[in-house]
A and B are shown apart, each in its own frame.
Chain A
């Protein structure tokens, strides 16, 4: 379990129609019936997967992060799904920072708006956290043929 997962966010549970107050001022209720926890890594992955759902988003992460990510993934250390995504979560809220590579020819403001909406929709509906902000950095543009050029350098 990662450090992020250890900081899992507990939330309350209601069982078989029994109504339980979800939260009080002292934090989440821990019922005798059990609790539900959502790992911080889960919120990060939901945000990353949501961003990738938007057409025009080519990849996530900065150039260095993507280069290191591809190497570390090949040796089984990296997780490409969290590349370019940083999430800060509290008891009820989350703030998301994303670094994107966008397809050349797309409108950057339009794609950024779509990504912001999609990430807010997915994170809020899936995790129940209120997303307070989604900060987006467009780090690079992807030109069709970029990968072919990269491949030609290593043959």
Chain B
């Protein structure tokens, strides 16, 4: 049975890791987050909503992260490399925050490609 404090910690971990994922997206060149056409890909924290990031507890104390990205045209490198770069950033951030063990699978979905004028 899960106590309220366990649940609170779980929510907190989930939101912290989602926040770190959002920061990692911001630091990855050539991509931006997308909440999707219906705005369903997002994590709602206490103070901020993190668009394009879905964080889910995997039931084993870890948090799986799924990010949805729009690629800016032309992309600076292959999409797979961009995905790896994002993962690396997120893993390092989680390590710095002492949450390496809590970070589960990190899935990256490229959902769209847009030019600068389309984004403006």
Contacts and interface: CB of A to CB of B under 8 A. Distances in A.
A34 B112 contact: no
Given A13-B87, A14-B84, A36 B79 contact: yes
Given A1-B36, A35-B107, A126 B79 contact: yes
- Residues of B in contact with A, size category: 20 to 34
Contacts of A37: 107-110
A13 B78 contact: no
Contact of B71 (A13, A34, A42): A42
Interface residues of A, number: 28
B111 A36 contact: no
Contacts of A46: 113
B115 interface: yes
Interface in B26-79: 36-37, 64-65, 71, 73-75, 78-79
B113 A45 contact: yes
A21 interface: no
A27 to B, nearest CB: 16
Nearest to B71: A42
A39 interface: yes
A46 B73 CA distance: 8
A15 interface: yes
A41 interface: yes
B78 A38 contact: no
B83 interface: yes
Interface in A98-155: 122, 125-128
B110 A13 contact: no
Contacts of B75: 126
A32 interface: yes
Contacts of A1: 36-37, 111
A33 interface: yes
A39 B107 contact: no
A8 B79 CA distance: 13
Interface of A: 1, 5, 8, 11, 13-16, 31-39, 41-42, 45-46, 49, 81, 122, 125-128
Given A34-B105, A34-B108, A36-B109, 8 more contacts: A1-B37, A13-B83, A31-B105, A37-B108, A42-B71, A42-B113, A122-B74, A128-B78
